[in-house]
Structure 1
């Protein structure tokens, strides 16, 4: 299976350590992290954040929403999901609360980030991305073994 070029969407403050574990699995080519100095410049304005998201989504084959406790409530996560649909980029959700964080342990299951969003493709058809729930007794292993196929499934669903 070829490596896919994906954009990871997540709540930084709560889930960055869990996300780094997933990004380091080496299964996929992901969005390159932004250096702290660059991010400080980007986030000075909402337009700066939108421009960064828009530019980085253009080259992606899938948006992977890594769902933690508060992910569904994040403004920029919602924007990334809606924008991916507008661009025709497949979207998939993966719950990560059962991936252990070295600082906080395990998280709490958060709400579905796609619930309540009116997601449509450019042709007007409704879109409802899948949210995968990895095995709570081996979430890291389950994600490592299945993330690539979950992404492929999302891509095939939109073709």
Structure 2
């Protein structure tokens, strides 16, 4: 089977790195392959970030460059995602770049989880952790689900599929 290749930027809280791997594996089982341009901080670089040795301007420039390359932006929605300023910035920037933005709830979330403000405004889809839902969104569908994968009303905002 020939895999469908998607150039994506996966916005996520770094504590959720394992979910990025899981998402990649899940869609791979359905014939999709991600080329992911998002940043995964290596442990040796984390201390530089913690000590503010890398400016916000440098980080923003690097993230924007990596998002420009991607055709879609996926936001992994975990328990703390809504409070991560860089995730919110990435969502807004993806919107400004005209990228479709797909929110995917982290696997196993059963409780109500808070959606980042900019994802509420700019998402083209928000789906549960189900391969068919994620692939539908990757293929241009506009579906809105809660963390269990059940339908929910479309979120008010600028949910535009181009």
The 4+ residue runs of structure 1 with deviation greater than 3 A are: 32-35, 37-43, 106-109, 114-117
CA–CA distance in structure 1, aligned partners of residues 58 and 48 of structure 2:
8
8 Å contact from structure 1 (residues 95, 109) kept in 2: no
**SS of 1:153 mapped into structure 2:** coil
Corresponding pairs, count? 134
Root-mean-square deviation (Å)? 2.9
Q: Which has the higher strand share?
A: 2
Alignment of 1:66-145 (within 5 A): 66-98=76-108, 109-114=112-117, 119=121, 127-134=122-129, 142-143=130-131, 145=132
Gaps of 5+ in 2: 143-159
Gaps of 5+ in 1: 99-105, 120-126, 135-141
Alignment of 1:37-52 (within 5 A): 37=44, 44-52=54-62
TM-score between both structures, scaled by the size of structure 2: 0.68
Q: 1:92 to 1:40 in 2, by over 3 A?
A: same
8 Å contact from structure 2 (residues 38, 66) kept in 1: no
TM-score between both structures, scaled by the size of structure 1: 0.69
Specify which structure has the bigger relative contact order, considering alpha-carbon pairs within 8 angstroms and separated by 6 or more residues. 1
